[in-house]
């Protein structure tokens, strides 16, 4: 693993933990998301279940459920870096899986059309630092080989860095990052 990237990850996580975000920020991010990302009722949206100091995705989920879209949660593979995505309906019983991340008890798997990605740090070119396990990069690469997919980072604006982040061969760029304050669109 890239030592410079690991040092950035550690500093960014510490910084994110020290943020005192207002609860309305999750609603503001969702508002920016829906103003920027157009979705049709048949599209499936994969979100992360917010843990710790991650930007809360529940306002997104609630609005997608209201619209009738299928929401998906990641299910982590034990032997490889590829995630599957399980249908998540309102009231579905969840239980902890790998990394204590909740998943539906009886998963029904689907490929997403839109992938909402957790972010530790991001730069102005769409490069992202995550938790360093490579799950999102490997999964995004595999999904992009099969179909068009929109990869949307979801973060606080303070997680943006001005310098170009170090990248490795396996890293996948984000198409955009949505924050409570603005949207960073990296598509050509």
Name the binding residues for ATP: 5-9, 128-136
107 and 133 in contact (C-beta within 8 Å)?
no
- Write out the binding residues: 5-9, 54, 128-136
- Write out the binding residues for substrate: 54
Sign of the C-alpha dihedral computed for residues 158, 53, 100 and 116 taken in this order = negative
**Residue pointed to by tokens 């998943």:** 103
CA distance 96 to 29: 26
State the burial class of residue 30 (Cβ atoms within 10 Å of its Cβ: 0-12, 13-18, 19+). Answer: buried
Residues 6+ apart with CB under 8 A from 132: 1, 5, 6, 9
């Amino acid at each position: 693993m890239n030592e410079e990237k690991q040092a950035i990850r550690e500093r960014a996580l510490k910084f994110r933990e020290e943020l005192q975000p207002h609860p309305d920020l999750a609603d503001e991010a969702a508002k920016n998301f829906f103003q920027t990302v157009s979705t049709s009722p048949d599209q499936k949206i994969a979100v992360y279940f917010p843990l710790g100091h991650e930007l809360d995705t529940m306002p997104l989920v609630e609005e997608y459920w209201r619209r009738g879209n299928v929401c998906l949660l990641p299910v982590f593979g034990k032997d490889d870096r590829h995630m599957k995505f399980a249908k998540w309906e309102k009231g579905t019983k969840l239980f902890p899986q790998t990394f204590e991340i909740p998943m539906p008890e009886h998963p029904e798997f689907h490929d997403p059309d839109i992938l909402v990605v957790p972010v530790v740090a991001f730069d102005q070119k769409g490069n992202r630092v995550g938790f360093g396990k490579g799950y999102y990069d490997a999964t995004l690469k595999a999904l992009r080989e099969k179909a068009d997919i929109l990869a949307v980072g979801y973060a606080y604006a303070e997680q943006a860095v001005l310098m170009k982040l170090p990248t490795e061969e396996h890293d996948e760029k984000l198409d955009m990052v949505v924050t409570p304050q603005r949207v960073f669109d990296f598509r050509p």
